[in-house]
Every structure is written in structure tokens, then in C-alpha cells.
Chains A and B, each alone.
Chain A
């Protein structure tokens, strides 16, 4: 049984046949029942009419027998009737109620419809003389019906077998075999070479032919997309090689960071820049980017990917301690995918150095090597910011102006004047601490910023030392000694005022005060006296 089920499951022809046979059987049963029913009816009717015919055959004799009341003749009629299979019992009763003759062939069968015929006198048709009653042989009739049914059933069964056989043949010939053939050919087909499936002969224009056409179309599509795929892969390989060449040979460092700020890959330029050995496998031993960087804006933080940064590109510069010399590197980070950043690093040390030098140059007085007005303004701005942040700290702003410098210029020439200016500048620079600032604003005007100087007394010590050093005349040539006098004004930022430009103004006023006081001395700004 499981084997049969398996066969039904795997054989289209068998399944089709089984289903068709089932349907034909069901229909056959219905038709057979109907046919048997109708046949039984007609057999019954046939037998009825046969009995009537029998009666008609014996009627004349019965008429005579009854007319004469002839029991022998009546018995003869009865026996004649009983000799038919179809008749089970016969009785002839004369009109006055006496039974002339009767007979029975088989068992008494109850419930059988009897057939009667009134027999008239042979000479006076309107005068009845007797009545013949026949009991049909129902068993025999039933046998006839059964025979008829068997015949119909047998015929139907034969037809069923014939149909089943034909269906199997047709399905095998027209469906199963072409499909099996197709399947074999399909499995042996080398589709990638563009080989096409051939439809079986005779199936070119039907559904199987269409199936073949569809399969061929699918093969075409597959071959096309395969070659497209191959082309794309080649293109990608070329791209990859191109990128790899750039990656390996470019001067800029290219690297990738993951979400934790670890370097996942880096090209040779990057390795050179950050002093990572070429053999080091970054995939298995990732290096934290922050550990490579010694100085710069926003250190470790920015290397962690924060989602707020979104798709924005960020750029900043960091310092690297590479042995004893510091190098500057510009970094551009752009998100590659989720949790990945791609970075490009440029060595900007030279540029940075050049920029620094240029800036320094712009803020330096070429004659003395001190700061110029630009540098002073810059420093003053820094101080103003600083003072806003820390108002409790005081600073001294000192303005110096040479006494009768014009006379030196006029007497000894500009070269000597310049020498004097350099000399004074050197003394000032020498006296001041590292964090203090000295600038020549132009001509013979100098300013000094003393940072973190809370006491006027401290300023006085410095100034006294300065004037002390200045008292030694400058020997220009062997025979020329030049005495230099300087008038000095001091304003205290934090004590006199909190505003830097006002402090500049105040120190200027104090300087003029010291000129009025007889030159080559110093004066602190005194609010009351000036107002």
C-alpha cells in the first residue's frame, strides 16, 4: 500500500488514471443504479405484458372450458400456463364461484401482484363465464432483472477498464514521456554555454513547446545576468587594483577607524607618518588612534564615532612626537558606513612651520627682534581675555619713551639711533621674565607688559634695575659714549582700571607725567592728579 501511494505520488500517468477511473467509477455507480432501476421496471413490465399475452393465447380455450364448466379443459389451460417459467400459480374460477382448476409451480410468495383476466362466453361476449388469476413467478422475474443488471454492470466494468487503459496510454504518450525527455535533456544541458533546450517533435506548438520556450528564455536571462555579473566583477577588480595602487602609493595617509577609535587598516604612507611598522597586522592588533597623537584639538573624543556627527566630514590638525622633533598632521575624517570612519592624514609640518614663521615675522620688530605694534595688539587682546577670565590678577602696563632721541639721531645719524634702540631693547628683553612681553611700537616708543604683577613695588624694582643698567653710557665707537634717558609711565590693569585700552591710555598719561617730572624717571598713573 505505501508502495502504491508512492507510485501514485511519483507517476503523473497513474495519478491521472486513478482520478479519472475514480470519477468514471462514481459516475458508473450512479448510472448503473439508474440503469438497473429502469431495467427492473421494464423487465417487470415486459413480464406483465408477457403474462397478458399468455392469457390471450389461452383465452379461447379457457372460454370454452369455462363455458362448458369443463374441468379437464380448464386444467389443461392451467397446466399450459404453469409450463411457463414466469407463472407461479394459476386458478380458474367460474362465474358462480366454483374453482374449475388451479395449479402451483413453486412456493407461495406473499405480496405478489396477481394478474386476473375475466373470460367471457365464446358466444356471448358480454356474458362473463369465469376469471383466470395468475400469480407471476417473482423469483424468476428477479433473476431476469439480476441478469440484466449483471450484463449492464459487466459492460460498464469493461468500459471502465478500457478507459483506464486508454488514459494511461494517452497520458504516458502525450504528457509523461515528453516531460521526462525534457527533464533528461534539461539536466544534461550546459546552460552557461548558451545551449538551448529542444522541444520534443510534435510538441513544438503545444503547452510543452511553450514550456521549452519559457525555459530557454530563462536560460537566456541567466546567461545574460551571469555575464553581466562577470563583467561587473572584472570591473570591480580593476577598481580595486586602482584603489589599491592609490592606497599603497599615495603620499597622504589613508586609514580606517572603527567605532571604538581603533585603526583597522592603514596604507604605507600612514604607517610612515605615524611610525607603524609595515609588518604589523592592524586587523589582529588594532592600535588606538588616540595613542599615536600627542597634541591637538579634541584628542581622543572625536575619534569615537558619535552619531550626532552624522555624515559630516571633520578636519583638524594634531601634533605627533616623532623622536625629538614635532610633526603636525592634518586629519580629515568622513563616515564610511555605520561604525566606520575613513580618514586621510597629510603631513602639514612644513606648512605649519612656514605659517608660524610668517606669523612670528608679522609680529616682530625687525630692528630689535622684539614685538611690534601688531604683536602688542595681539598680546593685549590675549591679556584682555585673560583678565576677563581672572579679574583678581593684576598686570602692569609700562610705556617707555626716550628722552631727546631725535637729538641722538640728528647728531650721530640713524644708524647710531638704531643701535641705541637695539641696545635698549636688549636690556629690556634681558630684564623681563619669559612670560612678560616687550614691543617697540614705533620710533622710540616701547611698551612692556608684566604679567601677574600685583604690587607696584615689584614694578619699581624692575624699573630701578632698568634705569640702573641704562645709566652706563652706550659706547658706539671707541670715542663716542651716548647717554640715554627714558621717561616711563606705568598703569596697573586690575588696580587702575579693568579695561586694557584705558590702561594703555593711563600708562601713556603717566609717561608724560614722568617727562614733566624731569625725565629719566618713572611715574605711576595717579587718578586724582590727572582728573
Chain B
């Protein structure tokens, strides 16, 4: 059942990707396939990436990861802000220590590695080339 659904979703994604790749690429928020998280709302995504929620819906501590190559596009798509604004946001929070920014990883391969190794990791990839071993929980249109 679960497999069937995954196949369906994958095929849907593939179709969608095929359709939209020519106009603009979407960004997919991805998690470890075994994380147990099926989907996230956009609000959940904002709360986790902007440091409000520290836990995943599953109850585990969330580990958001910024992928440097896609970071600007991602935040534009998620909260419609540029990187300067995002940096300023985090800079404000440095002293209080209440929240910390996502872990910064430069290479998309390292992101890939981290996500497939860590059950709680959460990151984003270009919607056009989502690796099979990652589970897409939210598609952000650009």
C-alpha cells in the first residue's frame, strides 16, 4: 500500500517535473526516506527552517540543513526574502540563544549524504533532480 502510494507520488512528481522544468524549476523539501514524515505544510517548513520549531512532527529533534547552492532560491520561495534579510534575522538571534540557524553545508552532495544518513535531517533540493533515496515532503513553487 505504502509502496503503491510512493510510486504514485513519484510518478506524479516526475510528470510535474517534466511539465514545469521547461518554465522554472521547483524546490523540493526533502527528508530521509525513513524519517516517518510523509508531508509537511508550508507553515511547518517555515517554522522549522526559521528556528521556531525544534522538533519534527514525529517528535524527533529537527535538523534543518541549508544547502548553499540553493539557499537563495529556497528562502525566496519559502518566505519571499533574500539572503541578506535571512542573515539579519539570524544575526538578531545570536545573543539570545533561543534559536539557531540551520546547519550550513556548501556541497549538494554533502547535503545528500547528510539527509540519507540522518533520520532527522531536513533539507531541500532542486525539484527537477530529486534523488530517489530522499523523500519529498513539500514542493515549493518558484
> Per-position contact with B for A117-138: 1 when CB-CB < 8 Å, else 0?
0000111100100000000000
Contact residues in B for A72 (Cβ distance below 8 Å): 95-96, 98
Since A67-B50, A72-B96, A123-B78 are in contact, a sample of 19 more A-B pairs with Cβ atoms closer than 8 Å, ordered by chain A residue number, is A61-B92, A64-B92, A64-B93, A67-B52, A68-B51, A68-B52, A68-B93, A68-B98, A70-B93, A70-B96, A70-B99, A71-B98, A72-B95, A72-B98, A73-B92, A73-B98, A122-B79, A123-B46, A124-B79
* Known contacts A61-B92, A64-B92, A123-B81; A70/B43 CB under 8 A: no
Which residues of chain A have C-beta atoms less than 8 A from B89's C-beta? 64, 122
Q: Which residue of B lies closest to A61 (CB)?
A: B92
A123–B79 CB distance below 8 A: yes
Whether B46 pairs with A124 at a CB distance below 8 angstroms is yes
Give every chain B residue within 8 A of A70 (Cβ-Cβ). Answer: 93, 96, 98-99
Interface centre among A68, A70, A71, A121 (most CB of B within 10 A): A68
Among B43, B81, B92, B95, residue most surrounded by chain A Cβ atoms (within 10 Å)? B92
**Across the interface, do B43 and A124 meet the contact criterion of CB distance under 8 Å?**
yes
Does A123 contact B50, Cβ atoms closer than 8 Å? Answer: yes
Size of B's binding interface in residues, CB under 8 A: 15
A residues touching B (Cβ–Cβ < 8 Å)?
61, 64, 67-73, 121-124, 127
CA distance A303 to B51 in the complex (A): 148
Bound-state CA distance A64–B95 (Å) is: 13
Return chain A residues, CB-CB under 8 Å to B99.
68, 70
- Tell me which residues from 98 to 140 in chain B have a Cβ below 8 Å from any Cβ of chain A: 98-99
Residues of B within 8 A of A71 (CB): 98
- B: which residues have CB within 8 A of A? 43, 46, 50-52, 78-79, 81, 89, 92-93, 95-96, 98-99
Closest chain B residue, CB of each to CB of A71 = B98
Q: Which A residue sits closest to B92, measured CB to CB?
A: A64
Residues of B near A121 (CB, < 8 A) are 46
- Cα-based distance from A69 to B52 in the complex (angstroms): 8
Q: Smallest distance from the beta carbon of A79 to chain B beta carbons, Å?
A: 13
Whole-angstrom distance from the CB of B123 to the nearest CB of chain A? 18
Rounded to whole Å, the gap between the CB of A420 and the closest CB of chain B is 193
Please give the distance in Å from A77's CB to the nearest CB on chain B: 11
Enumerate the 7 nearest inter-chain pairs by beta-carbon distance, A residue then B residue, closest first: A123-B79, A72-B96, A70-B98, A123-B46, A68-B99, A70-B96, A73-B96
The answer on a CB contact under 8 Å between B43 and A73 is no
Distance (whole angstroms) from the CB of B101 to the closest CB of chain A: 12
Closest A residue to B51 using CB positions: A68
A-B contact pairs, 11 of them (CB 8 A): A68-B52, A68-B93, A68-B98, A68-B99, A72-B95, A73-B96, A121-B46, A122-B89, A123-B46, A124-B43, A127-B43
Q: What is the bound-complex CA distance between A73 and B51, given in angstroms?
A: 14
Instruction: List residues of chain B with CB within 8 A of the CB of A122.
Output: 79, 89
- Which residues in B have their C-beta under 8 angstroms from that of A68? 50-52, 93, 98-99
Distance between B100 CB and nearest chain A CB, rounded to angstroms? 11
CB-defined contacts of A73 to chain B, threshold 8 Å: 92-93, 96, 98
CA of A67 to CA of B78 in the docked complex: distance in angstroms?
A: 16
Q: Complex: how many Å from CA A124 to CA B45?
A: 12
Bound CA–CA A61/B93 (angstroms): 10
Q: State in angstroms the CA–CA spacing of A124 and B46 once bound together.
A: 9
Residues in chain A near residue B50, CB distance under 8 A: 67-68, 123
Q: How far is the CA of A64 from the CA of B46 in the complex (A)?
A: 13
List of A residues within 8 angstroms of B95 by Cβ: 72
Tell me the minimal C-beta distance from A78 to chain B in angstroms: 14
Q: How far is the CB of B107 from chain A (nearest CB, A)?
A: 27
A70 and B96 alpha carbons, distance in the complex (Å): 8
Closest A residue to B98 using CB positions? A70
Residues of chain A within 8 A of B81, CB atoms compared: 123
List chain A residues, Cβ under 8 A from B43.
124, 127
Q: How far is the CB of B96 from chain A (nearest CB, A)?
A: 4
Residue from B78, B79, B95, B98 whose CB has the most chain A CB atoms within 10 Å: B98
Chain A CB count within 10 A is highest, among B43, B51, B52, for B52
The answer for the CA separation of A123 and B78 in the assembled complex, in Å, is: 9
Which residues of B have CB within 8 Å of A64? 89, 92-93
What's the Cα separation between A69 and B92 when bound, in Å? 14
Contacts of B79 in A (CB 8 A): 122-124
> How far apart are A370's CB and chain B's nearest CB, in angstroms?
180
Nearest residue (CB) in B for A73 is: B96
CA distance A69 to B50 in the complex (A): 12
Shortest B16–chain A CB gap in Å is: 25
Task: Kindly state the separation between the CA atoms of A19 and B79 in the bound complex, as whole angstroms.
Answer: 74
Which among A61, A64, A121, A123 has the highest number of chain B CB atoms within 10 Å?
Answer: A123
